[in-house]
Amino acid sequence: MKSIYLDHAATTPLSKKALEAMEPYFCETYGNPNSQHVYGREAAKAVAEARQKIAACIGARPSEVYFTSCGTEADNWAIKGAAAQYRDKGRHIITSVIEHPAVYSTCKQLEKYGYEVTYLPVDGEGFVSPESLEGAIREDTVLVSVMYANNEIGTIEPIKELCEIAHRHGALFHTDAVQATGAIRYDVKDLGVDMLSMSAHKFYGPKGMGALYIRNGLRMEKFMTGGEQERAHRGGTSNTPGIVGMSVALEEAMSTLESDGKYVAKIRDRFVKKVLDNIDEIYYNGPKDASRRLPNNANFSFRYIEGESILYSLDLAGISASSGSACSSGSLEPSRTLLSIGVPIGTAHGSIRFSFGKHNTEEEADYAVDELIKTVKRLRAMSPLYKEKK
Active-site annotation, residues: 327
Q: Are strands 172-176 and 195-199 parallel, antiparallel or unpaired?
A: parallel
Binding mask 178-197 for ligand PLP (x = CB under 6 A): xx------------------
- Are 154 and 297 in contact by the 8 Å Cβ rule? The answer is yes
80 is a site residue for ligand PLP (CB under 6 A): no
CB closer to ligand PLP out of 199 and 247: 199
Q: Establish how many alpha carbons lie within 13 A of residue 383's alpha carbon, considering only the half-sphere containing its beta carbon.
A: 19
**Residues in contact with 116: Cβ distance below 8 Å, sequence separation at least 6, in sequence order:** 91, 92, 93
72 is a site residue for ligand PLP (CB under 6 A): yes
Binding mask 207-246 for ligand PLP (x = CB under 6 A): ---x------------------------------------
Radius of gyration, CA atoms only, the chain: 22
Q: Which amino acid appears at position 25 of this protein?
A: Y
CA atoms of 183 and 294, how far apart (whole Å) = 7
71, 90, 205, 307: residue in contact with ligand PLP (rule CB under 6 A): 71
43, 70, 98, 191: residue in contact with ligand PLP (rule CB under 6 A): 70
**CB of 100: closest distance to ligand PLP in angstroms?**
3
* Cβ-based neighbour number of residue 385 at 10 Å: 12
- The window from 58-66, 137-145, 156-164, 172-180 that contacts ligand PLP (CB under 6 A) reads 172-180
Q: How many residues line the site for ligand PLP (CB under 6 A)?
A: 15
176 is a site residue for ligand PLP (CB under 6 A): yes
128 is a site residue for ligand PLP (CB under 6 A): no
- Are 287 and 155 in contact by the 8 Å Cβ rule? The answer is yes
Q: Which residue's Cβ has the minimum distance to ligand PLP? A: 71
96, 199, 347, 355: residue in contact with ligand PLP (rule CB under 6 A): 199
Q: Are strands 65-68 and 210-214 parallel, antiparallel or unpaired?
A: antiparallel
Burial category of 117 from C-beta neighbours within 10 Å (exposed 0-12, middle 13-18, buried 19 and up): buried
Q: Which amino acid appears at position 194 of this protein?
A: D
- Are 256 and 231 in contact by the 8 Å Cβ rule? The answer is no
CB closer to ligand PLP out of 137 and 246: 246
Helix axes 362-382, 307-316, angle to 10 degrees: 130
337 is a site residue for ligand PLP (CB under 6 A): no
Taken in order 152, 343, 143, 114, the sign of the CA dihedral is negative
4, 82, 94, 102: residue in contact with ligand PLP (rule CB under 6 A): 102
**CB of 28: closest distance to ligand PLP in angstroms?**
27
Burial category of 59 from C-beta neighbours within 10 Å (exposed 0-12, middle 13-18, buried 19 and up): middle
- The window from 19-27, 175-183, 277-285, 316-324 that contacts ligand PLP (CB under 6 A) reads 175-183
51, 80, 202, 215: residue in contact with ligand PLP (rule CB under 6 A): 202
Binding site for ligand PLP (CB under 6 A): 70-72, 75, 100, 102, 147, 151, 176, 178-179, 199, 201-202, 210
